């Protein structure tokens, strides 16, 4: 197999020191990639031509991805085997079309099916906004949270506290609750909250297994800071723009610095903050610098990336970029 891109897994940007001919220090900065670990119910089969071909459980999905600038590797026939294909109808959305003879789960007015991941079960529901209720690139962050929980358990803290802001359909929250975290999940959308509760129930979690709150994330975080609450892990996956249930405006450019500062204020002495964003125009270096303002702690920043299932052993591994991410840690294993 040919060599793929250099991966600096779980490590921050590195400076390679040396000097140029004129004695000027050379310090090229390499990107870090937070690679998604393999998932049992999901695979990225191919990408290219501004699309991606994915398997969610028994169903093959084909949907646009503007990052996929390159050529697909699989044949047109392999792409035509997709059970559901997203057809864009406007800037804001579109519809899903099932192929003739599509998998049973993909048929009908509003297809929905369950997939199993680790100890959890998630409902996949293709939406008119192209997303399906699960962001597989977040698997790298789920793994980081699991590693942190194991650290706490080894240190005798059996029920650390996790706050998931902008928690969407609750994949991270459900996995964490199943693993023993005391979870507080916040999202402004009633649909996302209901989906989270459905995912929790499908995963065998009782109604009281985690706090699920429909509220503006910034408002909730500010209140927790005023109350002196503390969390051992804070997940932040904000959109570029969003609204709270009472019309509160979330605008990334205006509020991200305050959000990170507030997350720092509620972070326990041993804790981790994970920030991820998609298509918002800030680079990992910007995040690195933002987290440096929190003071003591270590930040690893880079790209979230989904590895493509290898189609041909002679080809270099390929990764689909899936947003930027920063992990700030203090007092735990990531803090180095």
| Long-range own/partner contacts, residues 61-66 (CB < 8 A, 24 or more apart) | 61/85, 61/86, 61/126, 61/132, 62/86, 63/130, 64/88, 64/130, 65/320
Comparison of 187 and 308: residue with beta carbon closer to ligand SAM: 187
Comparison of 48 and 284: residue with beta carbon closer to ligand SAM: 284
Q: How far is the CB of 282 from ligand SAM (least distance, A)?
A: 15
Q: How far is the CB of 250 from ligand SAM (least distance, A)?
A: 4
Comparison of 73 and 125: residue with beta carbon closer to ligand SAM: 125
Comparison of 84 and 217: residue with beta carbon closer to ligand SAM: 217
Comparison of 167 and 264: residue with beta carbon closer to ligand SAM: 167
Q: How far is the CB of 4 from ligand SAM (least distance, A)?
A: 25
Instruction: Catalog residues that contact ligand SAM under the rule CB under 6 A.
Output: 135, 138, 166-169, 171, 186-189, 192, 216-217, 237, 239, 242-244, 248, 250
**DSSP one-letter code for 295:** -
Comparison of 76 and 247: residue with beta carbon closer to ligand SAM: 247
Q: How far is the CB of 247 from ligand SAM (least distance, A)?
A: 10
Q: How far is the CB of 138 from ligand SAM (least distance, A)?
A: 4
- Confirm if 134 and 169 have CB atoms less than 8 A apart: yes
Q: How far is the CB of 152 from ligand SAM (least distance, A)?
A: 22
Query: Which residue has the CB atom at the shortest distance from ligand SAM?
Result: 242
- Between CA 75 and CA 86 the distance in angstroms is 19
Instruction: Pull the structure tokens for residue 185.
Output: 């999940």
- Between CA 258 and CA 216 the distance in angstroms is 14
- Between CA 306 and CA 238 the distance in angstroms is 20
DSSP state string for 89-101: -SSS-EEEEEPTT
Buried-state track 63-87, b at ≥16 Cβ within 10 A, e below 16? bebeebeeebbbeeeebebbbbbbe
**DSSP one-letter code for 160:** -
Q: How far is the CB of 193 from ligand SAM (least distance, A)?
A: 9
- Confirm if 330 and 292 have CB atoms less than 8 A apart: no
Comparison of 33 and 171: residue with beta carbon closer to ligand SAM: 171
């Amino acid at each position: 197999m040919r060599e793929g891109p250099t991966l600096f897994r779980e490590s921050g940007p590195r400076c390679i020191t040396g000097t140029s001919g004129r004695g000027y220090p050379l310090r090229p900065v390499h990107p870090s990639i937070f690679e998604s670990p393999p998932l049992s119910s999901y695979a990225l089969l191919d990408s290219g031509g501004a699309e991606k071909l994915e398997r969610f459980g028994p169903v093959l999905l084909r949907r646009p991805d503007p990052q996929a600038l390159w050529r697909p590797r699989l044949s047109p026939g392999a792409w035509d085997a997709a059970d559901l294909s997203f057809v864009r109808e406007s800037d804001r959305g579109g519809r899903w079309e099932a192929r003739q003879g599509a998998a049973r789960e993909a048929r009908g007015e509003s297809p929905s099916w369950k997939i199993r991941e680790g100890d959890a079960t998630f409902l996949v529901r293709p939406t008119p906004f192209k997303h399906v209720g699960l962001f597989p690139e977040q698997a790298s962050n789920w793994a980081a949270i699991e590693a942190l929980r194991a650290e706490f358990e080894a240190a005798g803290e059996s029920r650390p506290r996790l706050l998931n802001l902008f928690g969407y359909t609750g994949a991270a929250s459900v996995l964490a609750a199943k693993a023993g975290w005391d979870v507080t999940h916040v999202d402004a959308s009633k649909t996302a909250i209901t989906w989270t509760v459905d995912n929790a129930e499908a995963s065998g979690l009782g109604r009281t297994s985690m706090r699920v709150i429909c509220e503006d994330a910034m408002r909730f975080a500010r209140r927790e800071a005023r109350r002196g609450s503390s969390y051992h892990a804070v997940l932040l996956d904000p959109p570029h723009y969003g609204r709270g249930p009472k019309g509160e405006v979330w605008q990334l450019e205006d509020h991200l610095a305050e959000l990170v500062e507030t997350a720092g204020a509620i972070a326990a002495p041993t804790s981790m903050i994970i920030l991820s964003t998609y298509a918002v125009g800030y680079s990992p270096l910007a995040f690195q610098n933002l987290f440096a303002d929190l003071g003591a702690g270590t930040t690893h920043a880079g790209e979230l990336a989904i590895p493509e299932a290898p189609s041909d052993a002679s080809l270099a591994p390929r990764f689909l970029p899936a947003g930027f991410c920063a992990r700030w840690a203090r007092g735990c294993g990531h803090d180095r």
